[in-house]
Structure 1
Amino acid sequence: MNDNQIAYLCSQYPAISHTFIYREIESLRKGGMKVHTASIRKPSGLEVMTPAEQQEATSTLFVLSQPPLKILKAHLHSLTHNPSGYMKMAGAALKLITSGPKSPVKAVAYFIEAGILLQWVHDHGITHIHEHFGNPTALVAMLMKQYGGISFSLSIHGPDIFYTVDSSMLPEKVREASFVRCISHYCRSQIMRISSPAAWDNFHIIRCGVDPDLYTVRPEPENHHPELLCVGRLVPAKGQHILLEACSKLHKEGVDFHLTMVGDGPDRTSLEEYARSNSLETIVTFTGALGQDKVRSVYDRADLFILASFAEGVPVVLMEAMAKEIPVISTRITGIPELIDHEKDGLLAVPGDPEDLAFQIRRMLENSALRTQLAKAGRQKVIASYNQHNNNHGLLNLFRKELQQ
């Protein structure tokens, strides 16, 4: 057994909307930790990811892609390796029929997935699993812990998981985890809310981050029209409809700009229809999903970055933009005010209010000195508190402490 190795377990890895997990794993590897990766499902959009992410996929275990015979052999291995542990895991899976997901189908699926993963971790000598988001893959890790010889930890981002603490069994996941990494004070407070005060010392704030040496200061753009940029999945939580409403208001007032929206998702059709019906089709461009290498070139052309979210953890895209000295505007929700101090290193708008968002955009567009001041302060904020490699030292120390027990 290698006492300096762990596994990362994700619902989908690598994922185009969660490239920060890939970068976090790479940072841990550079710090001396051997990290194996497993994904419940095969990733979508792999063709637009970077070559490095595509290579990462070739060494990742895709649990649900295993053939039936291999699944059967994995469960026979787990049964013969530890019969009592296997039965204990089966009993824990049965409880999921009446608690948490309350679904016989999901209970069976999580049990099958746990059996596949058990043989994989045994083959590699892995004893600790880390899971991001606290989603159903954490239930699979809980089942593996019931089997014995496996511990797990969580990275909690929020906020969606905080709305379904009972059905997601978040209190149970937190209680069973060796430790919980929280990405913000807001996140930690929500975990504290559902936990005993005696457990609070087990919740550690380790922020996500970016590499300032990769996301370097972009040259000052020389655009004919001020270039606004929004990067993110096109989903209700991102508030892109509010952004388009704000842009419609500014356009009617004669404000000159162009908006690029990078990303894809279920809201794309309605967003494109809104742009057409409000005469924005010539000033709003939808690029679809782009790989990280192409996204960085889009950042280089941006005069202003905007994220009008309703619900977020602490968006890594904001850190990326700030690291490149792009002035940013976002909303006063969840952990975002921990990243952006209003009027010091960015601007914050009232969530769900297109009038206030338009006001903040106009402020930024009309004041080049303010843009420069906030952009420079934003990069310094990232360097000081959201440097991926510095922050990952804390995560490395937690993993090493766990592996020594």
Structure 2
Amino acid sequence: MPELKPSTPKRLGYLINQYPKISHSFIRREILALETLGWEIHRFALRGWDAEVVDPDDRAELGRTAYVLDRSALSIAWAIVITMFAAPGKFGRSLIMALALMRRSDRPFFRHVIYLAEACWLARELRQRQLSHLHVHFGTNPTDVALLINCLAGVSFSFTVHGPEEFDRVGGINLKTKVEQAKFVVAISSFGRAQLMRLIDPSGWRKIKVVHCGVDERFLVSSVKANESNRLVCVGRLCEQKGQALLVSAAAQLASSGVGFELVLVGDGEHRPMIEQLIRDHQLQGKVRITGWSDGETVRQEILGARGFVLPSFAEGLAVVLMEAMALGRPVLTTYIAGNPELVVHEQNGWLFPAGAEDELADAMRRCLETPASVLQAMGEHGALAVAQKHNVKTEAGKLSELFAQALEK
């Protein structure tokens, strides 16, 4: 790993739309791992999470994060005025950029006015903190702000693309422009890198790097032991993307055929009322339960208490919770989409099935419940080894550290 030049401090900003957030624990892990490598990370978020922060580690991040939309309208307006008079040329070019983004965007005009205002405030904050590079998670609106900051203040930026939202809205979020203007772009899987490569000229492909999301020592256990219970667990936001409604219907198939099981849904979200109604409709109240949001340690215990982990996503990048379950020695049942097959090997560390296929999902659940403990043990060991090799947060943070060092040297 190259050493930073003495004149280049290991300091940078991180920008996220909402932080901390229960489903973004991988960002916290990444930041903390970078700090152990000597980086001084300044956290910025456009806003906080709109639900209770239940994890103690996430609560600790609240006080370390500067929130743009917590500022008074007067302070943001003052930042705009100062920018207009101090650097009228740069402000004009940034306004033209904002208008160009707006014309191609799937979001209304006023949103881009807000992004420019946020960029004015953040640009001043970055200058005051002497930060010359900004890394962003997700290629949506926070990367719009980073692109405008680059116009306003010359602060370089990079960003991590997760999917699936970015790939669903390539034109609407101006993803091509963002990739072209960034110092480098991170994809969390080879699948994600390939989607980004489709957007730009081959001469720019070298700037697209794969850095996996990682798990920490709480999940990277030294040994794994199979669980012989009949419990399956699913962890994730209760929403259309994760497919829990289909999971409940598949569970109803198992119940009607006399298969004994327990299904735990860890999480919450906008689809909870509908999923609770499905549970009642299928008379599964004694077999399926929803825990609501849980902290990291509770999630870990729920996974350890299950025979297998199931995630029937319709769309995905590469879910971190799959890595967590596999690291804890649990075979996983998930869909054959996006980056999932890069980690999950069918019948070696889990079962893959087509997205949206209820019968195949029910069959995978049945197979997991009927698989002998010795086979579950071998599958768990295979999965834990794969995660340790590909998704150790310290290793992946080392890759990012090298990229940041190179970006600051140029």
Q: Does 1:330 align with 2:334?
A: yes
Q: Which residue is equivalent to 1:194?
A: 199
* Unpaired stretches in structure 1, ≥5 consecutive residues: none
| Residues 39-80 of structure 1 deviation map (CA, whole Å, 9 limit, x = unaligned) | 111223343122x32121112111111012221332344345
Q: Does 1:33 align with 2:39?
A: yes
Question: By how many angstroms is 1:2 displaced?
Answer: 6.0
Instruction: Measure the CA separation in 2 of the matches of 1:180 and 1:97.
Output: 22
Q: Which residue is equivalent to 2:3?
A: none
Instruction: Measure the CA separation in 2 of the matches of 1:71 and 1:118.
Output: 11
Instruction: Measure the CA separation in 2 of the matches of 1:222 and 1:163.
Output: 39
Using a 3 Å threshold, how does the CA distance of structure 1 residues 222 and 372 change in structure 2: closer, same or farther?
Answer: closer
Letter in 2 for 1:41: R
Letter in 1 for 2:291: T
Aligned length: 402
Using a 3 Å threshold, how does the CA distance of structure 1 residues 114 and 361 change in structure 2: closer, same or farther?
Answer: same
Q: Which residue is equivalent to 1:230?
A: 234
Contact 1:219 1:300 (8 Å CA) reproduced:
no
Instruction: Measure the CA separation in 2 of the matches of 1:282 and 1:274.
Output: 13
Instruction: Measure the CA separation in 2 of the matches of 1:65 and 1:364.
Output: 48
Q: Does 1:180 align with 2:185?
A: yes
SS across alignment from 1:153:
strand
Using a 3 Å threshold, how does the CA distance of structure 1 residues 348 and 74 change in structure 2: closer, same or farther?
Answer: same
Contact 2:226 2:329 (8 Å CA) reproduced:
no
Q: Which residue is equivalent to 1:306?
A: 310
SS across alignment from 1:271:
helix
Q: Does 1:65 align with 2:42?
A: no
Please show how residues 365-384 of structure 1 align to structure 2 within 5 Å. 365-368=369-372, 369-384=374-389
Using a 3 Å threshold, how does the CA distance of structure 1 residues 20 and 108 change in structure 2: closer, same or farther?
Answer: same
Of residues 395-404 and 203-212 in structure 1, the stretch that sits farther from structure 2 once superposed is 203-212
Q: Does 1:111 align with 2:105?
A: no
Instruction: Measure the CA separation in 1 of the matches of 2:363 and 2:234.
Output: 17
Scaled by the length of structure 2, what TM-score is found?
A: 0.94
Q: Does 1:258 align with 2:265?
A: no
Question: By how many angstroms is 1:218 displaced?
Answer: 5.9
Instruction: Measure the CA separation in 1 of the matches of 2:164 and 2:347.
Output: 25
Contact 1:330 1:347 (8 Å CA) reproduced:
yes
Question: By how many angstroms is 1:94 displaced?
Answer: 2.7
Contact 2:8 2:409 (8 Å CA) reproduced:
no
Of residues 77-86 and 319-328 in structure 1, the stretch that sits farther from structure 2 once superposed is 77-86
Contact 2:44 2:67 (8 Å CA) reproduced:
yes
SS across alignment from 1:47:
coil
| Residues 73-113 of structure 1 deviation map (CA, whole Å, 9 limit, x = unaligned) | 32344345433222221222233342324632112111111
2:148 pairs, out of 143, 149, 153, with: 143
Question: By how many angstroms is 1:297 displaced?
Answer: 1.9
Instruction: Give RMSD over aligned pairs.
Output: 1.6
Contact 2:225 2:377 (8 Å CA) reproduced:
no
Please show how residues 242-257 of structure 1 align to structure 2 within 5 Å. 242-257=246-261
2:158 pairs, out of 141, 153, 173, with: 153
SS across alignment from 1:98:
helix
Instruction: Measure the CA separation in 1 of the matches of 2:161 and 2:246.
Output: 27
Aligned residues: percent identity?
35
| Residues 230-276 of structure 1 deviation map (CA, whole Å, 9 limit, x = unaligned) | 00000111111121111111111111111110111111111111110
Q: Which residue is equivalent to 2:290?
A: 286
Contact 2:134 2:158 (8 Å CA) reproduced:
yes
Letter in 2 for 1:112: A
Letter in 2 for 1:316: V
SS across alignment from 1:236:
coil
Instruction: Measure the CA separation in 1 of the matches of 2:98 and 2:190.
Output: 33
Scaled by the length of structure 1, what TM-score is found?
A: 0.95
Q: Which residue is equivalent to 1:164?
A: 169
Instruction: Measure the CA separation in 2 of the matches of 1:404 and 1:81.
Output: 27
Of residues 226-235 and 354-363 in structure 1, the stretch that sits farther from structure 2 once superposed is 354-363
Contact 1:78 1:118 (8 Å CA) reproduced:
no
Instruction: Measure the CA separation in 1 of the matches of 2:124 and 2:52.
Output: 27
Q: Which residue is equivalent to 1:93?
A: 98
Using a 3 Å threshold, how does the CA distance of structure 1 residues 137 and 222 change in structure 2: closer, same or farther?
Answer: same
